[in-house]
């Protein structure tokens, strides 16, 4: 908002009360170079002051702040509709100037009439929207490549930073996985040794110590006990006793126990890996758009 102040000073007059309406010519609106010029009298210096308003971008709150900034003696500045309802500070001046309104400065109320000829028609409003859309497309076409290059540089820096954070975690994770894998393998070999020992003991008892008639009930109860053990595994884990799944479950058990002992933060590691994957995917889409000279795909806020 630009300001012009008249050189002449008006004669000092007594301020009207709040309930008293001042003639509408105290606040006038004239259009100059396509911009509305709002002229009013400042209460402190009693001089006329013009305010050039950009109706498409300026709001009522910005206009009132400019008035108070120009005259420090103004402690109250508000805008009301003709029916007495207060106009929000976020309302655009373009909307306000379509109808008559009341301007309250301190204890004085001004009745302001908007020029009918300057009200925006629906066709003119459509033309303004088309112009703004065209300006936006031109801006995107002129600055899109620079924005993409800047975004690519930011993603590369983010990737380097994430890789630096992940490097010590990856090394610690590799050591923990090797230890967990070794323990799991030892457990599998121990299980095979126990089963072999059990089979040899049953064979020795069957052919050398006792007969099959005595050992048959023993083998039955051993088989039944194994079935009970597998069923208990299902009850506790809600999974069937499949050897690969059981091996992976035992590996994870050793891995998390070792991670806790060495203070390896698994949640932080997973979060960094997710951010790294998202950054790599965003960089891939961005470089594809740069190579094909196409508009960049929408990147999420996390990118």
Task: Output the CA–CA distances (angstroms, integers) from residue 275 to 151, 157, 278, in the order listed.
Answer: 16, 13, 5
Question: Span 264-272, mean pLDDT?
Answer: 86
Q: Which of the residue ranges 18-27, 154-163, 196-205, 290-299 has the most confident prediction, judged by mean pLDDT?
A: 196-205
The CATH class, in words, for 28-112 is alpha beta
What pLDDT does residue 134 have?
A: 74
CA distance 184 to 132: 66
Question: What are the tokens at 7?
Answer: 């050189």
- Residue carrying the six token digits 């103004």: 74
CA distance 171 to 223: 45
Contact, 14 vs 108, CB < 8 A? no
pLDDT above 70 (res 7): no
- Residue 18 confidence class, pLDDT cut points 50, 70, 90: very low
What pLDDT does residue 253 have?
A: 85
DSSP string, 268-293: HHHHHHHHHHHHHHHHHHHHHHHHHT
pLDDT above 60 (res 289): no
pLDDT above 70 (res 42): yes
CA distance 193 to 102: 96
- Residue carrying the six token digits 């629906």: 122
Question: Structure pTM?
Answer: 0.44
Q: Kindly tell me the burial class for residue 155, based on how many C-beta atoms sit within 10 Å of its own C-beta (0-12, 13-18, 19 or more).
A: buried
| Domain boundaries defined on the chain | 28-112, 145-292
Question: Span 32-57, mean pLDDT?
Answer: 79
CA 134 centroid distance within chain: 28
Question: What are the tokens at 182?
Answer: 């070794």
Q: In this predicted structure, which of 84-93, 253-262, 281-290 has the lowest mean pLDDT?
A: 281-290
What pLDDT does residue 193 have?
A: 92
- Residue 179 confidence class, pLDDT cut points 50, 70, 90: confident
Question: Span 268-296, mean pLDDT?
Answer: 74
CA distance 89 to 80: 11
List pLDDT tens digits, range 47-59: 888 888 877 778 8
CA distance 122 to 72: 39
Strand partners, 40: 49
Beta strand segments in the chain, E: 2-9, 21-22, 28-32, 35-41, 47-52, 77-81, 101-105, 108-112
CA distance 231 to 221: 15
Q: Using CA of residue 290, residue 292, residue 293, residue 298, what is the dihedral sign?
A: negative
What pLDDT does residue 228 have?
A: 92
What pLDDT does residue 125 have?
A: 60
Name the helix (H) or strand (E) containing 236.
helix 212-237
Kindly report the backbone phi and psi dihedral angles of residue 100, in degrees, each rounded to the nearest multiple of 5, phi listed first. -70, 155
Q: Which one-letter DSSP state was computed for residue 200?
A: H
CA distance 220 to 236: 25
pLDDT above 50 (res 160): yes
CA distance 303 to 298: 10
What pLDDT does residue 140 have?
A: 59
Contact, 239 vs 230, CB < 8 A? no
Mean pLDDT across the chain: 77
Contact, 152 vs 272, CB < 8 A? no
What SS3 class is residue 50? strand
């Amino acid at each position: 908002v630009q300001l012009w102040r008249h050189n002449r000073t008006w004669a000092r007059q007594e301020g009207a009360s709040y309930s008293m309406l001042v003639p509408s010519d105290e606040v006038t609106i004239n259009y100059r170079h396509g911009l509305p010029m709002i002229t009013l009298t400042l209460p402190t210096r009693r001089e006329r002051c013009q305010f050039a308003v950009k109706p498409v971008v300026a709001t009522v709150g910005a206009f009132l702040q400019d008035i108070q900034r120009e005259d420090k003696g103004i402690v109250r500045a508000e805008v009301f509709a003709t029916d007495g309802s207060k106009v929000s500070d976020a309302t655009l001046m373009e909307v306000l100037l379509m109808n008559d309104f009341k301007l309250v400065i301190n204890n004085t109320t001004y009745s302001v009439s908007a020029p009918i000829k300057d009200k925006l028609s629906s066709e003119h409003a459509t033309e303004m929207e088309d112009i703004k859309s065209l300006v936006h497309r031109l801006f995107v076409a002129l600055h899109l490549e620079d924005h993409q290059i800047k975004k690519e540089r930011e993603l590369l820096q983010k990737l380097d930073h994430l890789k630096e954070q992940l490097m010590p975690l990856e090394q610690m994770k590799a050591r923990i996985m090797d230890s967990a894998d070794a323990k799991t393998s030892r457990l599998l070999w121990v299980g095979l040794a126990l089963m072999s020992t059990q089979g040899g003991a049953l064979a020795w008892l069957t052919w050398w110590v006792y007969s099959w008639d005595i050992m048959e009930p023993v083998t039955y109860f051993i088989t039944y006990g194994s079935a009970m053990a597998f069923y208990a595994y299902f009850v506790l884990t809600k999974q069937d006793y499949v050897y690969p799944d059981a091996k992976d479950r035992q590996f994870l058990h050793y891995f998390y126990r070792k991670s806790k002992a060495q203070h390896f933060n698994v949640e932080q590691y997973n979060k960094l890996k997710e951010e790294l994957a998202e950054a790599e995917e965003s960089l891939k889409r961005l470089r594809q758009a740069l190579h094909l000279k196409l508009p960049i795909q929408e990147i999420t806020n996390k990118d």
